[in-house]
Structures are given as C-alpha cells and as structure tokens.
C-alpha cells in the first residue's frame, strides 16, 4: 500500500508535467518531504498534523482527490505500525519546511521587521532632536540697522521738483480692549482676513500702500488704533454697518488724534 500510495501521487504529478521543485516553491514544502511522500517513507516526515497538511497540499496542487490521498496516507501509516497523527521524524530539527535556500520562518521575518522599524524610528527621533537643539543653539542674527532718514525720504531737488516726501515707516496696530471684537482686514491687494481679537490682543500690520479694516459699529469703542506709534481715532459713526476704514500711507494723518 505504501508504494501504491506514493506511486499514485507521483503519477498524478508527472501526468501534469509538474516537478517537485515547482510544488515546493508554491506550497513551501521541502522537496525532501515531497520525495518522502512519493516513496511512502513516512518516517522522514515531521509527523502530527504536518503530515496531513503536506499530503493535502501536494494532492490539491497536482489535482489528486484530497480526501482519497488522506485516506491512503492513513492506511499506509497503520500498515507501518503507527497512528497517522503519531508519525514523527527522527531526528527533527526545524519547522521551516523548505530547503533553506532563501526562505525563512515567518516568526523570524516578523522579528526582523519590528527590529528594522525600531531602528529607523530611533534614527528619525535622533535626527529631529539634533535639529531642534541645533536651531535652539543658533545665535540670533543682528537686526538690520535702519537706514538714515535722509535715505528713506525723497527730497525735492531742482532736478526733481515734483518729488514728494515719502512716509518713513508705515506700521498699524489694532488692539481689542474690554471685550472681544470681530474685524476683517485687507493689506494692500491681498486676500481679506477675518479675525476675532480677544481682550488685550494686538494685531500688527505693515502695509505698503493701504490697510482696510471692517468692524461692527457697536465694537468701535472696544478698538484702539495706533499708526506709526501714534494714537488714531476709530470711526464710530457711519452710514454702513459694518464700518470700513481705509488707511493709506498718503492720508493716514487724518486719523491721528
């Protein structure tokens, strides 16, 4: 029965032109175990549930009836004086059922993957920590000295009689007092920005040409405005709500107190 059992599986394999190497690569079963199945030498198999799994996988791959193969295996095992679930390999060293030429245990692969990920994570953390320390230790760059007033302002000369004084600096600060205030601002031609100023919060603007400020009439007393460090009036009376103030560098003086 042992020879008949292995012969049937071998003939099914050869009829389909399948090599033992192909079965080994697809099922991850060592070729020496496949050869033991074909020869009926069950003592060379690892034993227990592995034998049934190997035979079932072999039969399925070559198109042989799996149930019939398992029954033939059970008969062969009994004829050899052992229970189908007690046949063991002597000696048996490993549960890696390949020839060892490029395959490894899934557990080893998992451990290696976790180890590699841990090393990469530590490397990223160390690099980030070094960068933060490097930035913190970097000395502050000295501020660029302000240009002399005569270089910031154009003067009227005989060659340029139409030249008009240019405002040196244009800084506007808006502060909320007592209560929060909603404002919508637009610096020059940029996109408008909406902000809710909390009590005591200050928002600074440095427009090149103009600054538009929109706010609710009722919030006018809650806003403080300074232009180039000088107090300015916040318009409270208006025919529209919300109120819009447009401050330009050419006429901002009219808002000063």
pLDDT at 33 over 90: yes
Q: Which residues pair with 254 in a beta bridge?
A: none
pLDDT in tens, 243-256: 898 989 899 888 89
Centroid of chain to Cα 165:
54
Confidence at residue 106, expressed as pLDDT on a 0 to 100 scale: 76
CA-based nearest residue to 194, from 209, 227, 186? 186
Q: How many helices (H) and strands (E) does the chain have?
A: 7, 8
Q: Cα separation of 207 and 227, whole Å?
A: 11
pLDDT at 60 over 70: yes
Indicate the CATH number for domain 2-79. 1.10.260.40
pLDDT in tens, 93-118: 434 444 444 455 678 888 888 989 98
Q: What is the mean pLDDT of residues 115-125?
A: 90
Q: Cα separation of 138 and 195, whole Å?
A: 33
CA distances from 79 to 5, 50, 72 (A): 12, 19, 11
Which residues make Cβ contacts (< 8 Å) with residue 78, sequence separation at least 6?
84
pLDDT at 159 over 60: no
Indicate the domain borders of the chain. 2-79, 172-255
- For residue 239, report the phi and psi dihedrals to the nearest 5 degrees: -85, -10
Q: What is the mean pLDDT of residues 67-89?
A: 73
- Residue keyed to tokens 């063991």: 88
CB 179 within 8 A of CB 199: yes
Give 164 or 194, the one with higher predicted confidence.
194
pLDDT in tens, 10-28: 999 999 999 999 999 999 9
Where do runs of H (alpha helix) occur along the chain?
Answer: 2-15, 20-27, 31-39, 49-62, 66-79, 106-137, 149-152
Cis preceding-peptide flag for 247 (omega within 30 of 0): no
CB 60 within 8 A of CB 26: no
CA-based nearest residue to 52, from 74, 36, 35, 32? 74
Asked whether the whole model's pTM tops 0.75, one would answer no
pLDDT in tens, 196-234: 989 999 999 999 999 888 978 888 888 898 999 999 998
């Amino acid at each position: 029965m042992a020879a008949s059992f292995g012969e049937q599986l071998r003939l099914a394999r050869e009829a389909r032109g399948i090599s033992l190497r192909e079965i080994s690569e697809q099922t991850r079963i060592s070729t020496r175990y496949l050869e033991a199945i074909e020869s009926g030498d069950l003592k060379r198999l690892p034993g227990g549930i592995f034998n049934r799994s190997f035979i079932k996988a072999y039969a399925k791959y070559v198109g042989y009836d799996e149930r019939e193969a398992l029954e033939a295996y059970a008969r062969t095992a009994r004829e050899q004086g052992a229970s189908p679930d007690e046949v063991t390999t002597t000696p048996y060293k490993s549960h890696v059922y390949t020839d060892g030429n490029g395959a490894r245990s899934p557990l080893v692969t998992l451990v290696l993957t976790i180890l590699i990920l841990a090393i990469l994570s530590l490397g990223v953390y160390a690099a980030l920590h070094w960068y933060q320390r490097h930035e913190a230790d970097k000395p502050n760059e000295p501020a660029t000295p302000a240009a002399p007033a005569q270089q910031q302002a154009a003067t009227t000369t005989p060659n340029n009689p139409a030249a008009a004084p240019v405002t040196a600096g244009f800084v506007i600060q808006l502060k909320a007092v007592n209560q929060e205030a909603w404002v919508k601002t637009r610096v020059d031609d940029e996109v408008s920005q909406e902000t809710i100023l909390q009590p005591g919060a200050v928002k600074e603007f440095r427009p090149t040409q103009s600054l538009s400020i929109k706010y609710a009439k009722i919030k006018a007393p809650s806003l403080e405005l300074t232009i180039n460090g000088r107090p300015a009036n916040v318009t409270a009376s208006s025919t529209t709500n919300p109120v819009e103030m447009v401050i330009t560098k050419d006429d901002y003086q009219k808002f000063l107190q």
